[in-house]
Amino acid sequence: MDDTRLARVQQHHVGHNPLTDLVFGSVAGGVELADETVAGAEGPLPVRVYRPHGAGAGPLPLVVNFHGGGWTIGSLDSADWLCSNVAVALPAVVVSVDYRLAPEHRWPVAAEDCYAALVDLAGRAGELGADPSRLAVMGDSAGGNLAAVVSLMSRDRSGPVIGFQALLYPATDLGLGSPSIEENAHAPILTRDDVVAFRDHYLGGQDPHQPYASPLHAPDHRGLPPALVQVAEHDPIRDDGLRYADTLRAAGVPVRTTQYVGMPHGYLSFPRLCRSAPQALAELCHEMGAALG
């Protein structure tokens, strides 16, 4: 993806209409949306808060989401289906973070924005009707990378304490060491060339093995939150997720791993088209609900 094409994609705001909702899914019923701001690494960031109606008395778990898009595209709108459905199904307060994007903002800006937002949200959980002691992070694709990275940062920087990490077809090795990159080089939705382009836009030539860029390369994975790692069979970065799950497991971290057969990268972004999306959502909500009590 060259810079000109990327700029066009970034400037095109899809939003919601009957056609896009048919493909990407609409906001779940029974949830209230509010657009607010939180502290980022260098200033306020937009976030979208999803609160379920009729959840009963008492604070709810807090789930912080980081959207996908190769660290260069994606938006709060693109996460509406996933976040609203998680909010209703758990139930939980879900907050989706609109971190700054590359190539204007290279690594580690997105990672530092996401960590700063997590810290701010955990500190303000009471205002949101949420319980900071029942905190999870969630992300798909590049967002899965950021969720894993933020989990490392929270451990290394003494908080906030994360109770669960949901990593949905995550990118964990920006050194591109996964065999599936070549096996699925010409897969639908995401190709090997796309993976390389997104990585290069994000890093801008920086070391791809930095742990806060490639969580697989962290020197120690002990003490990280329990995890769900979902991967897609026909995905160039499928093995990123599988390798990371194995690494977490070897470090004593409880992990559930599921490979969705026949699915391409990003199946939860196309819930009306991908037959495994409802099952993947149900698994996600079940595992997260069990972990957060």
Q: Is 105 a catalytic site residue? A: no
Neighbour-count burial for 143-153, b at 16+ CB within 10 Å, e otherwise: bbbbbbbbbbb
C-alpha closest to that of 215 among 238, 185, 180, 245: 245
At position 126, the amino acid (one-letter code) is: G
Active-site residue (options: 105, 217, 221, 265): 265
C-beta of residue 213 within 8 angstroms of C-beta of residue 198: no
The upper half-sphere exposure of residue 209, i.e. CA atoms within 13 Å in the direction of its Cβ, equals: 3
- Residues whose CB falls within 8 Å of the CB of residue 37, separated by 6 or more in sequence, listed in order: 44, 45, 46, 47
- Residues whose CB falls within 8 Å of the CB of residue 33, separated by 6 or more in sequence, listed in order: 27, 48, 49, 50, 80, 84
Q: Is 35 a catalytic site residue? A: no
Q: Is 235 a catalytic site residue? A: yes
Measured CA to CA in angstroms, residue 105 lies from 23, 137, 212 at distances of: 29, 22, 15
CB atoms within 10 A of CB 286: 14
C-beta of residue 285 within 8 angstroms of C-beta of residue 86: yes
Q: Is 199 helix (H, G, I), strand (E, B) or coil?
A: helix
DSSP 200-242: HHHHTTS-TT-TTT-GGG-S--TTPPPEEEEEEEE-TTHHHHH
| Virtual torsion, Cα 252, 254, 260, 263, nearest 10 deg | -70
- Residues whose CB falls within 8 Å of the CB of residue 184, separated by 6 or more in sequence, listed in order: 192, 234, 235, 236, 238
- Catalytic residue numbers read 141, 235, 265
